[in-house]
A and B are shown apart, each in its own frame.
Chain A
Amino acid sequence: MAAGLQAVRESAPALKRQTMPRAKRAAIVGIPAFLVLAFTGSMSLGLIMAALILAALYIPAWSALPAGKWVVLAGILLLAILYPIYQPNLFDVLVFGNFPSADTGVTMLVFIMMALGLNIVVGYAGLLDLGYVAFYAMGAYTVAWFASQHFSGVTVHVGGVGVAPSTPGFHISIWLVVIIAGVFATVAGVLIGFPTLRLRGDYLAIVTLGFGEIMPQIAVNGDNLFGRNITNGSQGINPIDPPGFGDRLHNAVGLPTDFLSSPNSTRLFYWTALFLVVVTAFCSARLRDSRLGRAWIAIREDETAAAAMGVPLMRTKTWAYAGGAFFGGVAGAYYGSFKGGTFPSDFYFNISVFILCMVILGGMGNIWGVIVGAAFLSYLNQEGLANIGAWMNANGVSDFVFRKQIDVPLYTSGIFGVILVLTMLFKPEGLIPSERRKQEFREGVHDQPLYDVTHE
């Protein structure tokens, strides 16, 4: 085993050498970035940002230095942490308009988290999950049950903030609920995975799709499930308690009592989400390099060979499913608390595909790729498309091309469809692929079933 590991480590630099030349990479990213910045108003801030972006994009060069990787990581993290503070002073980008607000930032971070979770299933283990939204729903409903007035028959307060102590219903601290939600989603993941993970490829995709379709229907019909109101039907459950630290910690250390009533509520939500993303990214990275992670990758590359080498298929796949589900559940719970409500319309199939889109566009299996893909697409969905549409309408592009003013958000699903198709056709490994994944897509994998299907 140790010798095998050694071989894998030694082959890593060999893989690295095959990447694009650094100068070419810098030119490809740097020149458009400079052009975009050159067209914008405030040059001074623009130049600083340009320098920072270029520095961030130069990760391969930096990481050659000892500890350089950590410097870059710290720099990016610092930029992310300070974002809500310097965001209002940022310049407008051509076409895209202003930078996303911190509020949009929270949504983006939640989607980054979900995409990282799905990346474990799709990117690492290579199991196409088309019903990932089921875990998100699981998390969102968990927070709705344990931190709202929904179950008004009981009054349980365990560190809940933002409500009077006499308010009926479960009011458990969001920090706890987020973990409970993760555990619930994990259990759901194992339960769903157990019967279905025996299936390969397309069949698995279809079964997960089936679960993903059943979930919102249960949520919609759940207001009368065996005579009980579990999900409050299509009206959803709201309000949900905000996260917070309670009076005692507020008085002792100065931590905010509850996020919602705090004067800089959005920033608090943003920083918490960022913290969750960092934890998720860290866990993904560590999982990927663990024994389990290597087993996932082995299964992805060749299931039959992996099984022959003694990788327990079912157990390994179930762990991938459970891991992905955990982060989906946590993200769902936090998002529910941020939005203050949980509604069944949030859990339709297109959200599953939307998250899948992020993973694919960014680059399956690569954490940075997934983060960039998720941030970009959720930004487009939240603000970007509307901004682009407004710009096109205001500057006569719409009139010139379409002969009328257009409503770009109307085309959201089509645009995502185009992104999926174009990515698959021209860059199937995604924008920032992991080296290994890229080679799989270029050279093809031999993951044909041992016995093939015969059609007669």
Chain B
Amino acid sequence: MATEQARIRVGRPGYRPDVLTIIGLLLVILFGFWLLVNFIKAPADFYNLFLIGLTNGCIYGLVAIGYSLVYGILELINFAHGDVFMLGGMLVATMVTGWSLQNDSGVVLWLFIILMLLITMAFCATINTTIEIVAYRRLRNAPRLAPLITAIGMSFILQNIGLVWKGARPTSVPDILPNGTVFTIGGVPYTWNKFIVLLFTIPVLLALMWLVQRTRHGKAMRATAQDREAAAMMGISVNRTISFTFFLAGCMAGAAALLYALYFTNIRYTEGFRVGLIAFTAAVLGGIGNLPGAVLGGLVIGFVQAFNEGLGWHAPGSDWTQSIVFSILILILVFRPEGLLGERTPEGA
């Protein structure tokens, strides 16, 4: 895969602001100014939107990690990832309705939510691993276009499965999360349903970080990502490691799916594609292949979305959210293709 010379890392050139950097900085400054004006005008709205953004951002971050993990190891954009997430959400909808969880409360409810988390994670991980074995494994050494196209195909297949499973209308999930206030910030209550998203995201992320940084499996993953051939020579089972990566990515998608379905209380077959694209943008924004970057990117996108949809002063509104997210994606790829936390790569240079 990589020859000796292909591993030469391109260092950042000495600091000299070029036109692109200046334009990029100007855009960021404008954005900051816009936020500041809005904050001064309506602080309560701002806090509220901040909390919404944080919650959305957590979910996007979880999905984005799935893209980043897979891209890190295979340099493949797993288009089907968003749809795995969507199917997980549909499974949650089925479970919540099937077990009539809206009638439960207290410890029973918590146990059920944790049970659902495990089931959804296992479910999404199984789908994701299966996809890898069926659709991507044969194409390990094909031109890079080939697995990308297969991924798009898988995405369509999963979307169709979602459509056939739950129909074209959004499936509503009974609202089971408590709505009480955890604490108040600037006069705005931080409700439990938002807090739970954060409460579930952090341990899941910590577990993932531990797995990737501290365990043998994680080491194998990092080695495979760096150089597949060398990793194989060192006795790492590359195929198993890649499957394991897809498994982990699926787990993240499952966790995100549970939180998404419970928090937004509905799921539709097209949702996976939409959230997937947003999450992919988040992954690119943070620096694809970089796990903390993916979470950071997710949070940024979550905030941008919340502020855009809610702020009163010169906000384009929810009609334009998607356009704004993709504009960010395009701008990032033009101005800083390595992302916020990534390293400079020749891909975009």
Contact = CB atoms under 8 A, between A and B. Distances in A.
Interface string B131-153: 00001001101111111111011
Interface residues of B, number: 62
A122 to B, nearest CB: 8
B108 interface: no
Contacts of A448: 1-2, 6
Given A424-B150, A425-B139, A417 B330 contact: no
A307 interface: no
Given A202-B75, A203-B337, A356 B149 contact: yes
A198 B348 contact: yes
Interface string A416-430: 111111001100100
A202 B157 contact: no
B346 interface: yes
Interface in B1-54: 1-2, 6-10
B348 A199 contact: yes
B239 interface: no
Nearest to A128: B145
Contact of B156 (A353, A445, A456): A353
A205 interface: yes
Contact of A201 (B145, B280, B337): B145
Contacts of A213: 277, 322-323, 326
A448 B7 CA distance: 12
Interface in A46-93: none
Interface in A151-176: none
B61 interface: no
A441 interface: yes
Nearest to A364: B145
Interface string A200-215: 1111011101110110
Contacts of A126: 145
A413 B156 contact: yes
Contacts of B161: 414
Interface string B279-294: 0110010000100000
A454 B155 CA distance: 28
Contacts of A335: none
B6 A360 contact: no
Contacts of B8: 451
Contacts of A444: 141-143
B248 interface: no
Contacts of A206: 77, 280, 284, 329, 333
A455 interface: yes
A254 interface: no
Nearest to A198: B348
A217 interface: yes
A450 interface: yes
Contact of B277 (A195, A209, A440): A209
Interface string A436-456: 000011001101111111111
A201 B155 contact: no
A220 interface: yes
Contacts of B225: 455
22 contacts: A202-B347, A205-B148, A206-B280, A206-B284, A210-B330, A213-B277, A213-B326, A217-B323, A410-B163, A411-B160, A413-B156, A413-B160, A416-B153, A421-B157, A424-B150, A447-B143, A450-B346, A451-B8, A451-B345, A454-B7, A454-B226, A456-B343
Given A414-B156, A455-B289, 9 more contacts: A203-B347, A203-B348, A210-B329, A221-B319, A414-B160, A444-B143, A448-B6, A454-B9, A454-B345
Interface of B: 1-2, 6-10, 72-73, 75-77, 135, 138-139, 141-150, 152-161, 163-164, 222, 225-226, 273, 277, 280-281, 284, 289, 319-320, 322-323, 326-327, 329-330, 333-334, 337, 343, 345-348
List of 7 A-B pairs having minimum Cβ-Cβ separation, nearest first: A414-B160, A420-B153, A417-B156, A210-B326, A417-B157, A421-B153, A452-B6
